[in-house]
Structure 1
Amino acid sequence: MVALVGNPRGGTRTFDAAVEIAETLAKGAGHDDPVALVDLSALAPRLLAPVPPPEVTAARERVAAAKVLVVAGPTYKGTYTGLLKVFLDGLPSRALAGTLALPVLVMGDPRHALAVEVHLRPLLVELGASVPTPGLALVEADLPRLREVLDLWQAAVAPHVRAALDGRP
């Protein structure tokens, strides 16, 4: 399992939530392997280099090789960050074929909840990912009760995560 965090700042609540979500889903699927993290805040200055540096290439390869990919970011201006878009635009066409993607957006206002389904899901599908479950629109006010929110969401996504991690369609 890989958690991709598209927040331009490091050490954020989005990062913490992404880690907890990925670890909870992996554990719930019976997999104790460590979650691989791709934190775009650390790669941001190098993402637009004419020739991608090795760490950017390695991050894209890690994301493309994921069986399950949690794609998390904050909601900016009613959608995901440009940083996340730049990173994903650098992937080859259909790079996420065979990957179960789980979109997660952290937002200040519940009015932005549709951004997960209307903006982030289509991008992941365009890259070939399977996105069979609802994404998670996580309102900042709900972060203190993240475990409770996750329990509800995990019920919907767990069978898909388990199948993907076990190598079943």
Structure 2
Amino acid sequence: MTTSAVTPTTPATDASSASRSRLHVLPVVGNPRPGSRTRVAAESLSRAIAQRLGGGLTPTVDLADLAPELFAATRPAVDDALRRLASAHVAVVATPVYKASYTGLLKAFLDLYGADGLRGVVAVPLVVSGSPAHSLAGEVHLRPLLVELGASVPTRALALTEAQLADLDEVVATWVDAHGPLLDAAAVRA
């Protein structure tokens, strides 16, 4: 895994833009299936947020790739992913909805942080579910976990149903337009 950020394509024109151009957005995917639709959604939202903030996008942390190492005595790739998330400016933390909540894989990963392990990170919860009945899983379950770890969660979670994945770009653009001012303010503070 590499930690270098992709630089924005437009140069910064003022002090605020200059500081924001160093921002980076990290997608973290808690789906146990590699290359999942949750990952596609997380990367789409992360790209849109990075574009909105004039920042860079860092390579995805896909926990499916790290699962075999998660409970091992030594876990260099997991430790690297933990450092990358803790140093992200903005993190899209994505999970499919399992049993009306986030996955155990995501919980096991986030449990490796101590108190305030995500202090200074602006987190955006993203949940993908099969039914609109689970649309509050991000607000009721994932947001409190991220706040407990010290992350700032300035926006509502993006809750997607599997049916919405067909129009993912449009759904993401609508969400970013609606929540962009909150992300802008949080990114400046970060």
* TM-score, reference length from structure 1: 0.93
Q: For 1:83 and 1:22, how far apart are their aligned partners in 2?
A: 21
Moved over 4 A (4+): none
Structure 1 match to 2:34? 10
Q: Residue in 2 aligned with 1:168?
A: 189
Structure 2 unaligned residues grouped into runs of 5+: 1-24
Mapping of residues 90-109 of structure 1, within 5 Å = 90-109=112-131
* Identity over aligned pairs, percent: 51
- 1:52-71 to structure 2, matched below 5 A, reads 52-71=74-93
1:41 aligns with 2:64: yes
- Residue 93 of structure 1, CA deviation: 1.3
C-alpha RMSD of the superposition: 1.3
Secondary structure, counterpart of 2:189 in structure 1: coil
- Which shows bigger deviation, 126-135 or 154-163? 154-163
Deviates more, 1:154-163 or 1:91-100: 154-163
C-alpha distance in 1 between matches for 2:57 and 2:95: 20
Question: How many angstroms does 1:162 deviate by?
Answer: 3.2
Q: 1:116 aligns with which of 138, 141, 154?
A: 138
> Would you say the 8 A contact 2:125–2:138 is kept in 1?
yes
2:171 matched to 1:149?
yes
1:22 corresponds to 2:46: yes
Which deviates more from structure 2 when the two are superposed, residues 116-125 or residues 156-165? Answer: 156-165
- Check the 8 A contact 1:3/1:35 in 2, yes or no: yes
1:125: which partner in 2?
147
Structure (1 or 2) with the larger CA radius of gyration? 2
Q: In structure 2, what is the Cα distance between the partners aligned to 1:38 and 1:19? A: 10
User: Counterparts of 2:185 and 2:51 in 1: how far apart (Å)?
Assistant: 13
Amino acid in the other structure paired with 1:102: V
* Aligned-partner residue type, residue 37 of structure 1: T
Deviation per CA, 1:24-64: give whole Å up to 9, x if none: 11012222x23331000000011112x34111100000011
Tell me the matched-pair count. 166
Q: Contact 1:68/1:101 (CA < 8 Å) preserved in 2?
A: yes
**Distance in 1, Cα, partners of 2:27 & 2:185:** 18
Question: Contact 1:133 / 1:156 at 8 angstroms: preserved in 2?
Answer: no
Question: 1:73·1:105 contact (CA, 8 Å) conserved in 2?
Answer: yes
Task: Kindly state the Cα deviation for residue 151 of structure 1 after the two structures are TM-superposed.
Answer: 1.9
| Cα pair 2:48 2:173 within 8 Å, conserved | no
- C-alpha separation between the residues in 2 aligned to 1:123 and 1:36? 23
Cα distance, 1:164 vs. partner? Answer: 4.4
